[in-house]
Amino acid sequence: MTQTQLVEPAVVEAEGGGKKQIWPLPVGKANLLKLLHLCFDEYWDQIWFGTIIQGAAWEVVAPNAPKKISVADGYATVDFGRWHFHLCIGTHVGAPRELRKVRQCARAELYRFFGRDGDPSSWGVRLFNGRDEQMMTVLLPNPFLTNDQQFRAEPAWEQLELWDRLRSEFLGLEPDPLDRTGSRITCG
């Protein structure tokens, strides 16, 4: 377990309805690299990732497990073979000083979204740079959706395994029974 100072999660109103609970995650290079390995090495075929902002949502599925996850000059590269992506997770010296702080991940969080009915309906991880611009969202496996994003007739609670592991590993928290109370996705 990574040591963090536990705080009550912030509760924020989500634009468009619903609420989010947000737990801050440690942003050191080792912690962020561990997060990438856990999500992409072990759950690559169960997550979606990309940037989700007002007006655009990139929900990308990895084509295969990464061939390699490496770090050079502060940038993590998640390489799937035919394509890859980079995230600045550590000190980057290959840029002017003012850009170094902008590029590096300055904030990371776990979130749990509550729909209009008040039940949890989605779970994820978000990374932000030094300008507080979203670098990436990882949409975690969802008990209400199949792996090809079709609605399930009944929740599959085992889909919360990665969520539970992230809470345990980075926050020292046990599984929360609240996560297993919903019956469907309700959008904001």
pLDDT tens sequence across 156-166: 999 999 999 99
Q: What is the pLDDT of residues 77-123, one digit of tens each?
A: 999 999 999 999 999 998 999 999 999 999 999 999 998 888 999 99
**H helix runs in 44-171, sequence order:** 97-103, 161-166
Residues 6+ apart with CB under 8 A from 166: 35, 38, 110, 125, 140
User: Beta strand pairing status for 52-53 and 56-57?
Assistant: antiparallel
At residue 61, the 3 state secondary structure works out as coil
**CA distance linking residue 174 with residue 161, whole number of Å:** 11
CA distance linking residue 100 with residue 88, whole number of Å: 9
State how far the Cα of 29 lies from the Cα of 98, in Å rounded to an integer. Answer: 19
Closest residue by Cα to residue 177 from 163, 188, 10: 163
Looking at residues 57-61, what average pLDDT do you find?
95
Whole-angstrom distance, CA of residue 138 vs CA of residue 126: 6
Looking at residue 68, its pLDDT comes to 98
pLDDT tens for residues 15-56?
878 899 999 999 999 999 999 999 999 999 999 999 999 899
Determine the pLDDT at residue 187.
60
Please report, for the chain, the start and end positions of each structural domain, with discontinuous segments joined by +. 11-176
**What's residue 64's pLDDT?**
98
- Assign domain 11-176 to its CATH architecture: 3-Layer(aba) Sandwich (3.40)
Position 1 pLDDT exceeds 50: no
Quote the pLDDT of residue 117: 87
Spatial distance between the Cα atoms of 106 and 65, rounded to a whole number of angstroms: 27
CA distance 85 to 62: 11
Q: Considering all CA atoms of the chain, what is the largest pairwise distance in Å, rounded to the nearest integer?
A: 53
Cα end-to-end distance, the chain, whole Å: 33
**3 pLDDT more than 50:** no
Do 101 and 120 form a contact (C-beta atoms < 8 A)? no
